[in-house]
């Protein structure tokens, strides 16, 4: 089993060599490999099946995810969970939704920032987004996992850097017909949806919309301070719907 996963990691690493956005593609590959190897995918026989698998999943999320009520207990392990949680996803929909957004918006943002700066930006904003959610929900015992805080920061930076880039969106209320809009329409609309959803969200299992908003604000703010005027019109190749699957609270 270890040899199989090692071979997969080597193949994934080779596939991004020479790519224009190797950090983005490496993050996607890493998240996918960790998900497949973990209990959430249901594909690794080492975690069993049925009730045993469910118990393994809960233990896995508690070990690697953020638990706000335990985050500020002073232990080094808890302090690292906003970092480890960025690479853990709760379901196939959660994983694929996040990776689609990272694929669409991450490559151009990485090319603009550069590899090292993009890596630090992604990890730092993702950590702070989860930390901010934990501060606002300090009594919550729910595990929080997912890369959406970091990816939301990428969306915020993309909005500032490429406001006139045309993004193809699949809107449910238009029967999922592909429609092209500039980023300055699509991404604020996405942020407004997160704001509305955050106002209705409970502290139980579900999506941590507040982490999305914090990440989006951090990304936009960082880009506005770090860079000059936005670039001219650009076309974005792929097209997600206007709202990704967020940080899961399993």
H-helix or E-strand containing 197? helix 183-200
Whether 212 sits among the annotated catalytic residues: the reply is yes
Whether 94 sits among the annotated catalytic residues: the reply is no
Q: Which residues contact 222 (CB under 8 A, 6 or more apart)?
A: 121, 125, 153, 156, 157
State the catalytic residue, choosing from 89, 94, 140, 148.
Answer: 148
CB distance 102 to 219 below 8 Å: no
What torsion do the CA atoms of 169, 174, 179, 184 make, to the nearest 10 degrees?
A: -60
CB distance 7 to 67 below 8 Å: no
**C-alpha distances in Å from residue 41, one per residue of 32, 38, 93:** 10, 6, 10
**Catalytic residue positions, numbered:** 148, 212
């Amino acid at each position: 089993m270890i040899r199989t996963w090692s071979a997969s990691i080597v193949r994934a690493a080779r596939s991004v060599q020479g790519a224009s956005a190797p950090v983005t593609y490496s993050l996607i590959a890493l998240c996918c490999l960790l998900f497949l190897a973990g209990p959430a995918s249901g594909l690794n026989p080492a975690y069993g099946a049925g009730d045993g698998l469910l118990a393994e999943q809960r233990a896995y999320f508690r070990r690697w995810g953020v638990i706000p009520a335990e985050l500020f207990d002073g232990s080094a392990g808890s302090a690292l969970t906003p970092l480890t949680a960025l690479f853990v996803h709760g379901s196939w929909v959660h994983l694929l939704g996040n990776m689609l957004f990272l694929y669409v918006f991450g490559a151009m943002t990485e090319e603009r920032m550069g590899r090292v700066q993009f890596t630090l930006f992604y990890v730092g904003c993702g950590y702070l987004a989860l930390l901010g959610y934990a501060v606002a929900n300090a009594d919550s015992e729910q595990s929080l996992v997912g890369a959406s805080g970091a990816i939301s920061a990428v969306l915020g930076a993309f909005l500032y850097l490429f406001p006139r880039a045309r993004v193809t969106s699949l809107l449910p209320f238009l029967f999922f017909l592909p429609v092209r809009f500039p980023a300055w329409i699509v991404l604020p609309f996405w942020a407004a949806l997160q704001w509305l959803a955050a106002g209705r969200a409970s502290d139980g299992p579900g999506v941590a919309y507040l982490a999305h908003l914090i990440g989006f604000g951090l990304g936009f703010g960082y880009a506005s301070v770090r860079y000059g005027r936005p670039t001219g019109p650009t076309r974005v190749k792929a097209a997600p719907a206007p709202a990704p699957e967020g940080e899961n609270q399993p």
